[in-house]
Amino acid sequence: MSKKVTQPPQTEYTASGRKKPVSTAKGTITMMAMAILITTSILSLRGLPSEAKFGIQSIFYYIFAAIVFLLPFSLVCAELASTYTKQGGLYRWVSEAFGPRWGWTAMYLEWQTIIIWFPTVLIFGAVSLAYIFWPESFDEKLASNKLYTLIVALLIYWGVTFNSFRGTKVANRVSTLGGLCGTIIPGAILIVLGVVYVCMGKTIDLKPMPFFPDFSHISTIVLAASIFLFYGGMEIQAVHINDMRNPAKDFPKAVFLSIFVIVAMYAIGTLIIGLVIPSEKINLVQSLLTAYNVFWSTIGLEWMGNVIALFIMVGVIGQVSALVNGPSVGLMAVAQSGYLPMSMQKVNDKGVNKPIMYVAGIFVTILSLVLIVLPTVESAYQIMSQMATIIYLIMVLMVYGAFIRLRRTQPNKTRGFKVPCGKAGEWFVCILGIAGAVLALLLSYLPPSQIETGSPVVYVGILLAGVAVFVALPLVVYAKRKPSWRNPNAHFYPFDWQIEGRKPWEVSKWSAGYEPSEEEVDAAEGNAISCHGKDKT
């Protein structure tokens, strides 16, 4: 009898940490629904101050990043997701092209991106907590204190982690409440307050400047590279494309519509902060809360600034709650194929994988200690954001590489959606996307001129050492894996090259529309199990 190779749908997350619902039925997602899904999963308030430093030029950066990153990456991920529909997502795409070593590495890097991202949101949470007190001068001093920030950040993280041990249902209640309180409500209030402020004829600090930045000063545009992480997560979002009625026609429309809304909302939110805080005085972790205080003060409701800070703090807790358990579930699903020891695959009576969560906690704790060696809380926030961006972009480049290779090794594979305009479209999208990712990656290594980061040698050294370690880790784990690490109860649908009995880089001999039989699938899965730990693909 054929073994079942499907798995129940699981909660999925973007690289920047936002939870996404999982759909399973063909035709259940309309074009408009997909546009809303993309928009709500990408929008976030936390990063607005970093772009507000650019004033009106931030609009250029939002549009530029959408054109060279969000649009081409969305199209590439859509084709891969509609072509390789079995479980695995990113892991399957890269493994089909380059073998499981690199598929595992890509999957790990996505998980690692979220782990590196954790300290940034924890620092933001600590600052938000500081702003619920009175007066604002005390809030600013407390938020700038590194020891306070480190202690509160770790208390938030480990508190949420221990709460998540109680099960996914408990964690989801916290994350749902956090999503409503921390993003939707504060975001709507920010826009309304900005409009009211302008209508009241108050002083506007947004200085007139050229729309296009001065590219001769590279260090001034480093912060713009973080926008790429704002737009992250399409590699997971695209898996829903097969649930659309007409993906070839409707998905591009959904992408263009969502890009328009995302760029517009980010631009509006960024400019609203710039209305009341001059660009040279913007602080990456405090200015969003400072802007709320200014807006509320203009209408005589200063105390509401403290309430909003509390809302945002609840949002941070909800975000962390969603992220603490979710990514470990995805990583474990792949790890059961033999990439982590069985001791790391154990779950408690609530179905929670505590070992992986403890490892993640150790990573987060060590990364948070960067606060000690950098001069300010703001600089620590910045370096964690840049490191997460670099790791994520390395994974993005692996996806582009997989797309290019699979177009050549599996030319007859049935594709539910294809990047438009044939070969010309393929090369245009890939050249544009790869060039944009490489540019942002290189810029991420440079210390930004707008904030104090201390010694450039220390700043760049931390980035280089951190990235080297995090990229090497999955390769070391893969090299040291053992046959005993494979979970006998986990069944993973074989890769096409395993079913065909060829190498990943060899061209498929399948004819267009060919589907393997259950017997072929079972034989390939059995052969993959017997060869585990021996191959060096």
What is the distance between the alpha carbons of residues 314 and 312, in angstroms, rounded to a whole number? 5
Q: Which residues are within 8 A (CB) of 365 and not within 5 positions of it... i.e. 6 or more apart?
A: 154, 157
The crossing angle, in degrees rounded to 10, of helices 185-199 and 287-298 is 50
The H-assigned helical ranges of 338-421 are 354-368, 370-373, 377-409
- Host H or E run for residue 19: strand 19-20
175, exposed or middle or buried, with CB in 10 Å at 0-12, 13-18, 19+?
A: buried
Q: Could you tell me which residues are beta bridge partners of residue 13?
A: 19
In the predicted structure, residue 186 carries a pLDDT above the cut 50? yes
Q: Rounded to the nearest 5°, which phi and psi values hold at 144?
A: -90, -5
Sign of CA dihedral 235, 120, 178, 196: negative
* Contact criterion met (CB below 8 Å) for 373 and 188: no
What is the distance between the alpha carbons of residues 128 and 148, in angstroms, rounded to a whole number? 12
> Radius of gyration over alpha carbons of the chain, in Å?
23
User: What is the share, in percent, of the chain residues with pLDDT greater than 90?
Assistant: 15
Sign of CA dihedral 378, 379, 380, 383: positive
Which pLDDT tens digit goes with each residue over 438-465?
988 988 888 877 666 677 888 888 899 9
Q: Which residues are within 8 A (CB) of 87 and not within 5 positions of it... i.e. 6 or more apart?
A: 5, 6, 7, 333, 492, 493
Q: How far is CA 486 from the centre of its chain?
A: 28
Which pLDDT tens digit goes with each residue over 305-344?
888 888 888 888 877 876 776 667 667 777 777 888 888 8
- When pLDDT is averaged across residues 23-52 and rounded to a whole number, the result is 71
Q: Could you tell me which residues are beta bridge partners of residue 20?
A: 12
Model-level pTM greater than 0.85? Answer: no
Q: Can you give the pLDDT at residue 104?
A: 92
Please indicate whether residue 447 or residue 402 has the higher confidence score (pLDDT): 402
Q: Rounded to the nearest 5°, which phi and psi values hold at 12?
A: -120, 160
Which pLDDT tens digit goes with each residue over 63-94?
888 899 988 998 998 888 888 878 778 888 99
Please indicate whether residue 239 or residue 395 has the higher confidence score (pLDDT): 395
- When pLDDT is averaged across residues 463-486 and rounded to a whole number, the result is 90
Which pLDDT tens digit goes with each residue over 213-232?
777 767 666 767 778 878 87
Q: What DSSP line would sit under 430-445, residue for residue?
A: HHHHHHHHHHHHHHTT
What is the distance between the alpha carbons of residues 215 and 61, in angstroms, rounded to a whole number? 12
- When pLDDT is averaged across residues 434-439 and rounded to a whole number, the result is 92
In the predicted structure, residue 5 carries a pLDDT above the cut 70? no
Termini Cα distance of the chain: 30
- Here the tokens at position 120 are 């940034």
- Here the tokens at position 492 are 């993973």
Sign of CA dihedral 272, 278, 279, 281: negative
Q: Which of 363, 362, 345 is nearest to 354 (CA)?
A: 345
- Host H or E run for residue 173: helix 168-179
